[in-house]
Amino acid sequence: MLHACVYATILLGFFGIIFKENLVMKIIAMDVMSTGVIALFVLVAARTGVRTPIVAGLVEEGYADPVPQAVILTAIVIGFSIQALMLVGVMKLARDNPTLETSAIEEEYRR
């Protein structure tokens, strides 16, 4: 059931990128899709019976690999920075155009 919700989130963001005309809505859809992909990685990497790799005691147990966690954290930070950069681009585009609809902007630049 959880896998279905994650896949639905990814597809919702994907179709939002394709079918939405407004640039801000496209950025929000891209964020939704990114969140779904990160949730999918977390869902795949989650295992039971392993502990976090924190040195509290020297008990020999199964520890989770910290590399996937670091990769996901890096993906979150990069996704946030890309989103901020795209919003700045949209703000600059909004200064010159009265609308943020992609078809109207394309029509304006074709003239």
Mean pLDDT by 10 residues, the chain (111 residues): 91 94 93 92 78 67 78 92 94 86 84 79
- Give the global pTM: 0.77
b vs e for 4-31, b when ≥16 Cβ sit within 10 Å of the residue's Cβ? eebeebbeebeebbeebeebeebbbbbb
Q: Which residues make Cβ contacts (< 8 Å) with residue 63, sequence separation at least 6?
A: 50, 51, 52, 53
